[in-house]
Chain A
């Protein structure tokens, strides 16, 4: 079942900015990364899905309900990027107010509030006034709000922006916990190293356009990189499947090369080619890309295409 589905969903401000033509389908039980630099339209997209912004065109559904309807928000949690909560309330009072709005039954309300307070690591501090909370504590109480109604889908917009390394790890663990419980986490972030370990699927957005989407480890399968250590220079007349190569370093009788191939099946071929040409191979190591590499690759691709189009 698609938890989130959009068809050419567009939100622009007087024809400018925002985000355009986003079509995606997100299933249940995954952490979905919606990645892009600041100002790329990530928050606009989430706020449109939540009915806070009116879409310019296109359609969107959350758990099968059209966005903007009350039903579409019944099983949803949200931590905004610019989290601000009434400062005159205590953390617990804030959660009680949200519990009322979510119509959590009175008899299970306090138990649930205690559960989420513990989950976000705020036990013992929940009775403090929000005005006295640090940014990190506010973000934690915001996280508690987001998961209070045990939602099927949670939107987290830059959830670690105010947290220290321990807090960031806690949030990553929380996302994994939610995923393991079958929840869908829609994660907006520009901190790629932060989300790499928890995200399975990603969309990459740049300047209001969605460039690519899919399981992020597969998004760089269009090219494969290997690191090879040889005794000799590998020469200049390499086979056509080698798209690029460069010397990384040279130490006495060993030379380290980074070779870019057309695809993964070319790895045995390059080993065979080098061996038949009398090159001794000491090490071959596929270079596993990081999410940042995937991101930069696709953003650069977009820039190149835009440049070609302009020409």
Chain B
């Protein structure tokens, strides 16, 4: 299994798309850092025209959390796309080129092959997600000046990042499942459409919470159960921003953070979802011709 994991990891790193992604990520971080720097610098902490008192603090909390949220949301989007694109090609591509023949005729089981692919991709994507998460938070908290700074403890960050990495875990497991059943193109379309649906479902749920419309919230929950990606992102923002000892944390809700609070059960559900999908992938792949 480790040989396959190692090969998968190395293959991803050697691909041009990965190098492009790294370069684009650095550009994104540079732009984000610049934006945060000027957002902090050009927004004075007070002044003649500024609202004073609790309103200012509420606004500061809202704007700062939204700017961190937008950075993390875009990061989550890049991670999702990379996780989908890398996983949907990993098995279907090898089947269509018959490259898989020479691996599978070796004395390894198909379960080991799938697990090898899964572990290799997960290690890479989780490392990337962790790196991106801390880069964004470090930029935000470090160069955003006092006005941008949010009261986030290390424990909060660690809790948030551990939930943040569940997203690539779920996407890779699903991507591998469709990759063993469909061609690369079809697998990519199915994964991206489902990711999009989960994305929309998340917004519907947020809107439902804001407007207090139970039906909309339920639609969002159902979508989260079908594809638990957006709810995991929302849970991550709750863990990152919400603190019991910060009475202003309610001001941090918004489009890129979370208005509703996904339960802890959702985190366990997403983990179980990923594990079950991997097991189902192995079961289905064992039976198919390659």
Contact = CB atoms under 8 A, between A and B. Distances in A.
Interface in B1-40: 3, 7, 10-11, 14-15
B53 interface: no
Contact of B102 (A51, A70, A80, A88): A80
A145 interface: yes
A74 interface: yes
Interface string A42-70: 00000100111110000000000000001
Nearest to A142: B102
A97 B3 contact: yes
- Which one of A71, A76, A85, A97 has the highest number of Cβ atoms from chain B below 10 Å of its Cβ? A97
A52 B107 contact: no
Classify the interface of chain B: helix, strand, loop or mixed. Answer: helix
A179 interface: no
Contact of A101 (B98, B99, B103): B103
Contacts of A70: 107-109
Contacts of A51: 104-105
Interface residues of A, number: 27
A82 interface: yes
B289 interface: yes
A78 B106 CA distance: 9
B97 interface: yes
Contacts, number: 63
A50 B106 CA distance: 9
Contacts of A92: none
A13 to B, nearest CB: 8
Interface in A73-93: 73-74, 76, 78, 80, 82-86, 88
Interface residues of B, number: 22
Given A70-B109, A86-B7, A101-B3, A52 B102 contact: no
Nearest to B109: A70
Contacts of A78: 101-102, 105
Given A54-B287, A86-B7, A86-B11, A71 B107 contact: yes
B20 to A, nearest CB: 15
Contacts of B102: 78, 80, 83, 85, 98, 142, 145
A52 B108 contact: no
Interface in B90-114: 97-99, 101-109
A93 to B, nearest CB: 9
Contacts of B222: none
Contact of A53 (B7, B11, B107, B289): B289
B272 interface: no
A100 B1 CA distance: 10
Contacts of B14: 88
Contact of A73 (B107, B288, B289, B290): B107
B180 to A, nearest CB: 14
Nearest to B7: A97
A102 interface: yes
B98 A80 contact: yes
Contacts of B11: 86, 88
Contacts of A88: 10-11, 14-15
A73 B109 CA distance: 10
A234 B265 CA distance: 98
A101 B108 contact: yes
A82 B290 CA distance: 13
Interface in B103-128: 103-109
A97 B2 CA distance: 10
A127 B10 CA distance: 17
Given A70-B107, A85-B99, A86-B11, A52 B3 contact: no
Given A80-B101, A101-B3, A74 B289 contact: no
A80 B15 CA distance: 25
B99 A74 contact: no
A102 B103 CA distance: 10
Interface string A151-176: 00000000000000000000000000
Contacts of A84: 97-99
A101 B106 CA distance: 7
B106 A82 contact: no
Nearest to A13: B289
B208 to A, nearest CB: 47
Contact of A82 (B15, B98, B104): B98
Contacts of B103: 101
Nearest to A81: B98
Interface of A: 47, 50-54, 70-71, 73-74, 76, 78, 80, 82-86, 88, 97-98, 100-103, 142, 145
Interface of B: 3, 7, 10-11, 14-15, 97-99, 101-109, 287-290
Given A73-B107, A78-B105, 11 more contacts: A50-B105, A53-B289, A54-B289, A83-B102, A86-B7, A88-B10, A88-B15, A100-B3, A101-B103, A101-B108, A145-B102
The 6 closest A-B pairs by CB, nearest first: A88-B14, A101-B106, A100-B3, A82-B98, A84-B99, A53-B289
24 contacts: A50-B101, A50-B104, A50-B105, A53-B289, A54-B287, A73-B106, A73-B107, A76-B105, A80-B98, A82-B97, A82-B101, A83-B98, A84-B97, A84-B98, A85-B99, A88-B14, A88-B15, A98-B102, A98-B106, A100-B3, A102-B106, A102-B107, A142-B102, A145-B102
